[in-house]
Amino acid sequence: MAVKDIGQQAFGLEVLQRSHEVPVVVDFWASWCGPCKVLGPVLEKVAAEHEGALELVKIDVDGNPALASQFGVQSIPTVLAFKDGRPVARFTGALPEDAVRRWAAALLPTEIDRLVEQARDAVLEGDQLRAEATFRRILDDDPGHADAGTGLAALLIARGDTAEALILLGRLARSAEVEHLEAAARLAAARGGDLHALEARLTADPGDHQARLELGRALAARNEYEPALDHLLAVVKAGGTTRDAARQAMVDVFGVLGVSHPLTLAYRRALASALH
């Protein structure tokens, strides 16, 4: 296996981008460093043993001080491993070969990691049944597995099984992805609302806050976010027993749209004003 000596210009491509495909091990070294000369051949041997499952690159700290500083390299040799564009493991000094081998082995995908990738591939190929079966197989062994849990929840939400999706998400560790999917599930639960019937109720009684709340939810479930937010905000402003439900529905819309979306920015301010 060829080991690449790279610098600042190639770092983005050879390390950050490439690490989305396989783990990339980066050896920060210098020609005058004795321990570097000991560790270098060990790293090359271990990398070769994995036959392309991980890659090794070398960075001369004398020629690339900015890179060394960026990743906190204060002594050499320092070895960093990158996965998905970010550093995930490191060590400093010339470790024994067995220790390097164990460190490198921990970077490689586990059987569960491979199953997650198979399930994601199935989703991309449109094979929802195979994807669901694979995600469920993973969760049978590891009920709290975040990637399998969110992957399955997304499938359930897409086909309308929002109750099961919310139960599943409730078992996972809190994260931005989990909260986003919970918001999407709560909104999707209103997808079956009859818009015409709800609009007729409002025409007959503009003060029917329950109908306005249900209409706002139903519009949001159909991705008609601005009119949905208008109705929900009106319910919040009106107060009463439906106020908190309308507030939560607005927060769910914000969760689906994202914090920087123009509608989120505008209606979050309006909501804050209405609540004071």
Distance, in Å, from the CA atom of 276 to the CA atom of 254, rounded to the nearest integer, reads 19
Active site (annotated) includes residue 33? yes
107: tokens are 């970077």
Contact between residue 23 and residue 43 where contact means Cβ atoms under 8 Å apart: no
Q: DSSP character for 161?
A: -
Contact between residue 88 and residue 97 where contact means Cβ atoms under 8 Å apart: no
In the block, residue with structure tokens 């999407």: 184
Among 36, 184, 187, 249, the active-site one is 36
Q: DSSP character for 174?
A: P
Helix (H) or strand (E) holding 40: helix 34-49
Among 6, 15, 24, 33, the active-site one is 33
Distance, in Å, from the CA atom of 213 to the CA atom of 226, rounded to the nearest integer, reads 14
Active site (annotated) includes residue 237? no
CA 194 to chain centre: 34
Tell me the three state secondary structure of residue 90: strand
Catalytic amino acids?
A: 33, 36
